């Protein structure tokens, strides 16, 4: 019997939900285990202490530990070719990768802000998140409330985003706009790029699984804006029954058009100026990023990992053929995303 892939995470982790949904859709046998549980501690140590860790079974009976969802999903593509989530067209695959990185590095700011920056949601998280570990003791529940919650609240201001007073409104407005963009986008296609989900769909799903299913205030807003989007998040959690034919289901280049532009305009309005400013701050050795987003001052501590994300994105852009790059440039021209590759 083939041993399953092991995924160590938690229900309250957007990246755990992203990767679990990918495993389900791709019909890869897996076992979901507690990231901090006894079974996980007996396995090889993750490269990074971040959720989720995915342990891949090897032929010799051992497991290889992997971290970082963007790399994990591509490793799975190499091992399991069926039901791919990476479009065959290199230009479309690059646009999909841009959306995935936007979800992982900007939409996550929305998730963190709503969870740890609004008192109603903080109280909800303190009660709900630890109880997803079935059988948690009252002593551990109390420890979580007193220690983990305060640590996350403290990380919000300056580390994940800037101050609540200055940057909170920017984050909240970007979330509300994204809800409208996705509402309109998903009214014409079941997924971003046609009749099969891509990495960008799962990246957005991971963050939205918390924003529209867990945090009370962002849940209410999502339901007010688009019940279609809320239902989409429910469905993407398990697409194991979604039928696709290999090599088909993606939109063609000719079908990329005006319906795709609002999403890239939103990415260019928020994520792009931040990522460029962060890269410049890192290059200059500055500990703080400061830039204009949507006409407002935005600041936070510079983040080295997000500097690497932009570097990897630029490397992928440089690897495109001239024809593929021309199509990408045409789709991103005037959206604000241009600055990422200038």
Least confident of 126-130, 172-176, 318-322: 126-130
Residues 155 and 109 in one domain: yes
End-of-domain residue from the set 48, 79, 110: 79
E strand or H helix at 131: helix 119-131
Say which residue the tokens 């789709």 belong to.
331
CATH of the domain at 23: 3.40.30.10
For residue 279, the enclosing domain spans 90-341
Average pLDDT, the chain: 94
- Are 50 and 99 found together in one domain? no
Share of the chain above pLDDT 90, in %: 83
**Same structural domain for residues 192 and 145?**
yes
Is residue 192 in a domain? Answer: yes
Q: What is the SS3 assignment for 57?
A: strand
307 found inside a domain = yes
Helices (H) and strands (E) in the chain, counts: 16, 6
Number of domains in the chain: 2
Instruction: Using the predicted structure, report yes or no on whether residue 240 has a pLDDT greater than 90.
Output: yes
Query: Residue 84: inside a domain, yes or no?
Result: no
Same domain for 111 and 165, yes or no, is yes
Same domain, 139 and 222: yes
- Give the least confident one: 5-14, 36-45, 184-193, 246-255: 246-255
Among residues 217, 6, 17, the alpha carbon closest in space to that of 132 is found at 17
Query: Are residues 53 and 102 both part of a single domain?
Result: no
pLDDT at 1: 55
Residues 34 and 178 grouped into a single domain: no
pLDDT of residue 246: 75
Name the more confident of 145 and 99: 99
pLDDT given for residue 185 in this prediction: 95
């Amino acid at each position: 019997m083939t041993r399953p892939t092991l995924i160590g995470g938690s229900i309250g982790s957007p990246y755990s939900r992203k990767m679990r949904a990918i495993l389900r859709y791709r019909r890869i046998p897996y076992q979901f285990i507690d990231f901090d549980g006894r079974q996980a501690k007996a396995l090889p140590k993750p490269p990074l202490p971040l959720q989720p860790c995915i342990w891949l079974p090897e032929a010799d009976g051992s497991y290889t530990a992997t971290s970082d969802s963007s790399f994990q999903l591509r490793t799975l593509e190499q091992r399991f070719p069926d039901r791919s989530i990476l479009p065959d067209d290199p230009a479309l695959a690059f646009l999909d990768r841009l959306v995935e990185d936007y979800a992982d590095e900007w939409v996550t700011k929305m998730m963190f802000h709503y969870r740890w920056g609004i008192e109603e949601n903080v109280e909800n998280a303190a009660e709900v998140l630890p109880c997803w570990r079935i059988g948690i003791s009252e002593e551990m529940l109390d420890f979580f409330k007193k220690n983990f919650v305060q640590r996350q609240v403290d990380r919000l201001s300056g580390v994940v985003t800037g101050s609540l007073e200055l940057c909170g409104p920017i984050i909240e407005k970007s979330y509300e706009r994204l809800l409208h963009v996705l509402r309109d986008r998903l009214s014409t296609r079941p997924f971003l790029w046609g009749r099969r989900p891509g990495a960008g769909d799962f990246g957005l799903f991971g963050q939205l699984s918390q924003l529209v299913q867990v945090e009370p205030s962002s849940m209410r807003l999502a339901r007010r804006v688009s019940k279609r989007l809320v239902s989409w998040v429910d469905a993407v959690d398990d697409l194991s029954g979604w039928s696709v034919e290999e090599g088909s289901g993606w939109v063609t280049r000719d079908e990329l058009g005006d319906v795709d532009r609002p999403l890239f305009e939103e990415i260019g309005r928020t994520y792009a100026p931040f990522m460029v400013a962060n890269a410049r701050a890192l290059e200059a050795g500055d500990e703080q990023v400061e830039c204009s987003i949507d006409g407002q001052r935005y600041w936070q501590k510079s983040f080295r990992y997000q500097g690497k994300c932009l570097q990897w994105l630029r490397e992928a852009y440089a690897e495109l053929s001239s024809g593929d790059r021309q199509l990408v440039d045409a789709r991103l021209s005037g959206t604000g995303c241009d600055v990422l590759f200038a």
